[in-house]
Structure 1
Amino acid sequence: MSKWLRKSLVVVVSILTFGLVTPSHAFFNENTASLNKQNSKESSVQQTEDKVVEEKSISLDSFIESMVEKAEENAYVKFGDKIKPVIQDEFKTIILPNIEKAITETAQQFPEEDLSALTISEVPNYAKTEKIFHIYDNRSGKDVIRFHVRRDHPPLDGYYFNFHYHTYHDSFQSHRELGTIYWDKNTPPQWMSVS
């Protein structure tokens, strides 16, 4: 049965029964079962080949680009609807380029074939932690680099967001500065706050 005829029949039956009954898809599957078997074998082979090619062909530039994109998304999730509009512009111009630089420096220490094993973590649900995201090796589960933001409140001054990162080179001990963004004299809302 031709494709347009099948679709027309589904529409007619749905209209006549006011959408309460839709024709069974088994009615339309005369020859499609054998075609699906052939297509699924071909597509699974093709997907496997594509996956192998994709894993091997990840370049440093594409890795950095995808990590920075995910980093920006994770940061905005962390900020929430109340903090994001206030600091978004400064974050994009000051902090994000430094995050990209840190990711580049770290990624250059890995062979290109290992870059596909590096993954970015999710934003933690607990709002009081400093963690924005970590990049870790999904084969071993060990972190490679950790990106954090801390609220600072110097005496007789307003609130600041201090962005920094830690690396596995020194067991995540030292703070490497990414930049600081001024908030206000008033206490900033909790991370991930929704307006």
Structure 2
Amino acid sequence: MPKWLKKSLVVLITALTFGTVSPPAYLTVDDQKDDSTFGDFTNKDFNYSANYIEPIEQELTKEAFLSFAKEQAEIQSFTKFGSRIGPKIQDEFKDIIFPKMEEVINELATEHPEEELNNLTISENPTGGDSEKIFHIYHAQTGKDLIRFHVRKDHPPLEGYYFNFHYHTYHDEFQGHHTLGSIFWAKNTPPKWLS
């Protein structure tokens, strides 16, 4: 099937169902190699049809949970950035912001008993447009969020635009704003998330 027809069908299905129904997988997977990458990930690595990553069934060690959580955190972050923002901020994100995200995830794993780590999972599908959500780590059985990782577009007067990375925790009922860091964009308005 021609690539233009596949793309047209995906847009049509999404528009007619207001995004509530995912297009079939055979319309969203290319037959040729996809060269668009963000860091070490390609668009084919992402599962756009599911809302959440399924909790892992076998017993997890702390190290296995941390490996899983950090991998998913990076994937969800680069999905959020999209093809217009991602390539321009990926180096700063990996050097400055991501190590701090890893520290927060380590703290979360440390405060939970190892047998509870099986019940923790990461939300998929970061929000687009101007919304802040990158991903949440939540308890799969109760559905309650534990940590919410967000990024906000800040525009201090006469300074240009910054991406402010931060998180909220259940400890203070998500009221506190815990800063991870900021990345300067430019004087011009940044594109929408996921674009």
TM-score (norm 2): 0.69
Percentage of pairs with the same residue: 58
1:72 to 71, 74, 83: 74
Matched-pair contact (CA < 8 Å) for 1:118–1:138:
yes
Deviation at 1:88, TM superposition (A): 0.2
Deviation at 1:126, TM superposition (A): 4.0
Instruction: Output the amino acid matched with 1:121.
Output: S
How far off is 1:54 after superposition?
6.0
Match of 1:145 among 144, 147, 172: 147
Q: Give the Å deviation of 1:104.
A: 0.6
In the alignment, what sits opposite 2:113? 111
Q: 2:173 aligns with which of 127, 146, 171?
A: 171
Runs of 5+ in structure 1 lacking a partner? 1-52
Shift of 1:55: 2.3
Give the conservation status (yes or no) of the 8 Å contact 2:129–2:193.
Answer: yes
SS state of the match for residue 111, structure 2? coil
Q: Is the 8 A contact 2:61 2:114 kept in 1?
A: yes
Q: Would you say the 8 A contact 2:136–2:148 is kept in 1?
A: yes
State whether residues 55 and 113 of structure 1, in contact with CA within 8 Å, keep that contact through their aligned partners in structure 2: no
Q: How many residues align?
A: 140
Greater fraction of residues in helix = 1
What does the per-residue CA deviation read over 1:97-126, in whole Å, with 9 as the maximum and x for residues that have no partner? 000000111111111011011000012444
Aligned alpha-carbon RMSD (Å): 1.4
Q: Which residue of 1 aligns with 2:102?
A: 100
Q: 5+ unaligned residues in a row in structure 2: which ranges? A: 1-55
1:68 partner letter: K
Distance in 1 of aligned mates of 2:150 and 2:57: 30
1:159 aligns with 2:161: yes
Q: Does 1:89 align with 2:91?
A: yes
Structure 1 residue 135 and structure 2 residue 125: aligned? no
Partner of 1:55: 58
Corresponding residue of 2:46: none
Question: 1:123 touches 1:131 (CA, 8 Å); kept in 2?
Answer: no
- Structure 1 consecutive aligned stretches of length 4 or more whose deviation exceeds 4 Å: none
